[in-house]
């Protein structure tokens, strides 16, 4: 059963299955940014102490369909960012128009398949605009630019192997701050149905937005709460200047 484990003026953190948590999202939101499990059974093989397997990463979870349900609380013509899934996978279930494939350039080369001469250095994410009308989507509606027009390659260094301490697929806060700043305004609400260790939430709070995060794993949910509290202190101090 999903439950609210932290709530403040700036953030609400829900621990539980995203499939059961929607009823706890008590308001309309202005942006969705999330890094869901990819169904690839991700597991690090190069760490002395391995992260636990990611919940929902066994391929049994229909992530696009579940995220489609979450668009019912997203305001029309507002923006969505989803890591790891293609525009084709997301457009229909999430009712997205104006979709664009973005690339996160991690700058550092990852291990990947060590037998290959090519090592992974990027990760894809999909941008889209909630366009509820199927007719409008079919006609190409939804081509609403982000508030600040930018290139489709986002260059932010990923943490190196020793720097990955909170979550195996943790996103850098500066990357998430750029997405939040580009697609929302101060005081609006950002939602992440797969919050992980809370990078989206930290970015939202530091950018003056409100945040709602859902996380199934109790350890990661606790980490998110800890990071959100720290970000709130920084935001409070900045506002007091």
Enclosing domain of residue 9: 3-240
The answer to whether 104 touches 57, Cβ cutoff 8 Å, is: no
Q: Is the pLDDT of residue 223 over 90?
A: yes
Distance CA 88, CA 158 (A): 26
Distance CA 225, CA 206 (A): 14
Output DSSP code: residue 171: P
Residue 131 has a CB neighbour count (10 Å cut-off) of 26
Mean pLDDT across the chain: 86
Output DSSP code: residue 22: G
The answer to whether 6 touches 205, Cβ cutoff 8 Å, is: no
Q: Is beta strand 96-105 parallel, antiparallel or unpaired with respect to 122-130?
A: antiparallel
Candidates 127, 120, 159; CA nearest to 144 is 127
Average pLDDT over residues 154-172: 71
Beta strands in 122-164 (DSSP E): 122-130, 153-155
The answer to whether 67 touches 35, Cβ cutoff 8 Å, is: no
Distance CA 122, CA 182 (A): 21
The answer to whether 74 touches 191, Cβ cutoff 8 Å, is: yes
Domain harbouring 99, CATH code: 3.40.50.150
Distance CA 199, CA 61 (A): 22
DSSP letters, 103-122, are EEE-SSPP---TTSS----E
Question: What are the tokens at 76?
Answer: 């029309």
What are 96's strand-pairing partners?
A: 130
Q: Is beta strand 74-83 parallel, antiparallel or unpaired with respect to 122-130?
A: antiparallel
- Whole-model pTM over 0.75: yes
pLDDT category at 131 given cuts 50, 70, 90 is very high
Total residues found in the chain within this entry? 241
Beta strands in 173-221 (DSSP E): 189-192, 210-215
Number of domains observed in the structure of the chain: 1
pLDDT in tens, 17-74: 999 999 999 899 999 999 998 654 444 444 445 555 555 555 678 999 999 999 999 9
pLDDT in tens, 11-31: 999 999 999 999 999 899 999
């Amino acid at each position: 059963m999903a439950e609210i484990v932290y709530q403040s003026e700036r953030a609400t953190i829900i621990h539980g299955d995203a499939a059961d948590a929607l009823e706890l999202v008590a308001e309309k939101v202005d942006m969705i940014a999330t890094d869901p499990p990819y169904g690839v059974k991700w597991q690090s093989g190069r760490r002395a102490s391995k992260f636990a397997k990611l919940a929902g990463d066994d391929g049994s979870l229909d992530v696009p369909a579940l995220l489609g349900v979450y668009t019912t609380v997203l305001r029309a013509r507002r923006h969505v960012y989803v890591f790891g899934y293609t525009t084709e996978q997301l457009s229909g279930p999430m009712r997205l128009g104006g979709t664009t494939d973005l690339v996160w350039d991690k700058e550092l080369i990852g291990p990947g398949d060590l037998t290959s001469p090519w090592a992974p250095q990027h990760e894809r994410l999909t941008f889209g605009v909630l366009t509820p009308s199927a007719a409008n989507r079919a006609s190409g509606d939804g081509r609403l630019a982000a508030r600040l027009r930018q290139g489709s390659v986002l260059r932010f260094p990923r943490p190196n192997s020793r720097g990955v301490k909170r979550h195996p697929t943790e996103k850098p806060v500066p990357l998430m701050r750029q997405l939040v700043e580009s697609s929302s305004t101060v005081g609006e609400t950002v939602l992440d149905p797969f919050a992980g260790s809370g990078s989206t939430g930290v970015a939202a709070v530091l950018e003056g937005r409100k945040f709602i995060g859902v996380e199934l794993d109790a350890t990661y949910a606790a980490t998110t709460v800890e990071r959100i509290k720290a970000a709130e202190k920084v935001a409070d101090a900045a506002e007091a200047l």
